[in-house]
Structure 1
Amino acid sequence: MASGHGLKHDSFDLAWLIQPAEAPEARLIKCYNDPQSSSLDDGSVHKNKSIFFFETSCNHNGTFSLNSRQACAVESAALMNPDKHVLLLVPSPFNKISTQKHMKALLSYPNVRIEHIDMNKYFIGTPLQNWYEQGRLKSSRWPTSHTSDILRYTTLWKFGGYYVDLDVVILKSFDGLTNFVGAEDDEDVAAGFLAFNYGHPIIHLAMLDLKYKFKGWRWGNNGPGVITRALKRYCRVQELSKMTKQRCGGVNVMPPSAFYAIPWRSWKYFFATKQSDVDWVMKTINQSIAIHVWNFHSASQNATVGSNQPYVTLASRFCPKVYSTQKTVF
């Protein structure tokens, strides 16, 4: 499952590194190798006009489904960008898509597609072909997250367009926005939102970074670390404050207010009920293109249907069909 993680979360890596290593067979997501023909036809993907999401777990048992919050993220992208193709790509095989109410609501959008991809073929012809065939992904302690990392950069390399995490709500159209990333704070670039035209050299640098600097034992190294290092090389500066559009050849490093106005340390405010906290959140995100709700931390936090919680209010507005299927807790 794709969900955001910032460079600051590397502090968690230090704690995890002292834990006993998992056996290789436990770390490998075996379902990626289960036989099933890919339903994705590369020729049907419109270059630079698609918004991509990934669901990388193996928890489908033949029937694919998202939870309601993930479906909300996809719906918000489709609702706010009706002229773009919204593709949810899934490396684990499935026979059918769930008929749960929120899934049927999501698929009522004509610009939404759910497609299976064959991991053994997806990297052919890319800079990561030999890397994947050599089994480098199997060294990951967090293959679900690292697979999402690898797929987002590979997909932008193959098609161009937009990558978005599954723990977001899109608040504005992407029209007129391209070749951008979002800063998480004054020091770090995050990888929850990425947009690059097909063939952009930054994505090629990102692919080379993955090929030569992949670290399976560090969670954030292969996601936000990749785009941060690629930007430093491309812009030829080390400080985020100096990564201007002029310096970076037209690439827009958007400020935290664009996508990460509420930082991960403050994730609980999305679920606040105290009116002063609610007002602060809504004012803080007033100019945001999207919000990121930091699923790593917030997944178990209740969002009560009909409440004044900021996340609930935004879901009711920007993923109304999915939201309407939920009765008590979103």
Structure 2
Amino acid sequence: MSKGFKIFTLLLLLVACGLFYKNSNIQPSSPFKSIISPGSTASISNNKNSSFSPITPMDVLKKGNGIIFVETTDRMKPPSLVLCAVESAARVYKDRPVVFFMKGLPDINIMEDELKARKNFPTLSTFDNVYFFPLKIEKIFNDTPLMPWYKKVIPKFETYWTHVSSDGCRLALVWKHGGIYMDSDIISMRPIPDVNFLAAQSSQFSSNGIFGLTDHHIFSWKSMESFVQNYNGAIWGHQGPQLFTRILNQFCSIPPFKSTEDVKCGNISFLNPQRFYPIPYQAWGRYYDVWENVPTFNDSYALHLWNYMNQGKKIMVPGSNTLIEHLYKQYCPTLYGALERNESIYG
């Protein structure tokens, strides 16, 4: 057989193999539920949506170490402080998922929905550990003591429904998933070393604006039971800080703080007010003042900025040299840069 004929035969075989491969239906398998990872801006073709399986809160929070934020209004353009809170948490807890549940966020059924959810917030879209999910209150309350109450309550007759529903959601989410819940006006500065903790707002009085518990912790369950049994939505804080203080007193007699120490109550750390509330609510306006010497907050893990007291009266203004501007620059620099350049912080 001549050399030329051998080469010609080999070429024919290669062409035949190529045609077979082209016409085969074999597709490479993928181990991923969603081909879109957080921070991705890849374009997506419609013909792939049929095989899209969106990632769920259970997938993201299964390790029990998530940072959880909740928005119980329909707003999709929250104040910049909310975006700063999420960004600062994403920076401090780089190896942990930061999950924002938003009532106004549409269902995520196809890949474009997932991309749109992230594009709503350009300053957060590049953080690989930030996730957005619709807040499905009935689903969150399912299989908890809160469900019977939720079926009976009439939101339009509730004085503080936005806050009361948030009080319930944070309890149910931490009961089911574990992790740390944070109010969306808390700027994170350094990691919280404790796993099971409550935050003292003042001596012998607990906040519910930030707390961390393992999943299915007895404190969460007892709090949900008391939430329903002693419900009074007309009293501000009755379902929140007052509830936590009542339940904590069932675990131990809370001693007063003498200095900057923390105290233990069973397996729960009751963290000193300096950890999150070095500026008390009576002085909330100090965050918007110019300080001659900017405090270091060395005894704090995060700062609660008392947004309920503010009611939108004061905001961070680039170039103002206020304390809050210094905090934005240091702990949410991506957001600060966008505001300084007068760029839109919403998609």
Deviations 1:256-278 (A, max 9, x none): 10000000111111111251xxx
Shift of 1:120: 2.4
Judge conservation of contact 2:105–2:117 (CA < 8 Å) in 1: no
Contact 1:305 1:328 in 2 (8 A): no
Equivalent position of 2:4 in the other structure: none
- Decide whether aligned partners of structure 1 residues 249 and 301 sit closer, same or farther in structure 2, where only a CA change above 3 A counts: same
- Residue in structure 2 matched with residue 65 of structure 1 by the alignment: 77
8 A contact 2:181–2:212 mirrored in 1: yes
Q: Deviations over 1:213-233 (max 9, x none)?
A: 121101210111111111001
Instruction: Please state if 1:323 is matched with 2:323.
Output: no
Q: Could you tell me how far apart the structure 1 residues matched to 2:233 and 2:163 are?
A: 10
The structure-2 alpha-carbon separation of the partners of 1:249 and 1:203, relative to structure 1 and needing over 3 Å to count, comes to same
Structure with higher RCO (Cα < 8 A, 6+ apart): 1
Q: Deviations over 1:252-299 (max 9, x none)?
A: 111110000000111111111251xxx2x615x232101111111223
TM-score of the superposed pair, with normalisation by structure 1: 0.78
Q: Counterparts of 2:55 and 2:168 in 1: how far apart (Å)?
A: 20
Q: Any gaps of 5 or more consecutive residues in structure 2?
A: 1-53, 108-115
Shift of 1:238: 5.6
Letter in 2 for 1:158: K
Aligned 8 A contact 1:188 1:240 in 2: no
How has the CA–CA distance of structure 1 residues 239 and 215 changed in structure 2, closer, same or farther, with 3 Å as cutoff?
A: farther
Shift of 1:93: 4.3
* 1:203 corresponds to 2:192: no
1:81 and 1:290 mapped to 2: Cα distance? 12
**d(CA) in 2 for partners of 1:215 and 1:138?**
15
Instruction: Return the alpha-carbon distance in structure 2 between the equivalents of residues 143 and 328 of structure 1.
Output: 37
Matched, 1:273 2:290: yes
Report the CA distance shift for 1:41/1:311 in structure 2 as closer, same or farther (over 3 A): closer
Which residue of 2 is the match for residue 110 of structure 1? 128
1:163 aligns with 2:181: yes
AA aligned to 1:97 is A
Q: Which has the larger radius of gyration?
A: 2
Corresponding residue for residue 106 of structure 2: 94
Does 2:295 align with 1:282? yes
- Superposition CA RMSD, Å: 2.5
Q: Provide the rounded CA distance (Å) in 2 between the counterparts of 1:169 and 1:85.
A: 16
Task: State the TM-score, normalizing by the size of structure 2.
Answer: 0.74
SS of the residue corresponding to residue 54 of structure 1 reads: strand
Paired position in structure 2 for 1:121: 139
Shift of the 328–310 alpha-carbon distance from structure 1 to 2, 3 Å rule, reads farther
State whether residues 183 and 253 of structure 1, in contact with CA within 8 Å, keep that contact through their aligned partners in structure 2. yes
State, as a whole percentage, how many aligned pairs show the same letter.
27
What letter matches 2:305 in structure 1?
Answer: V
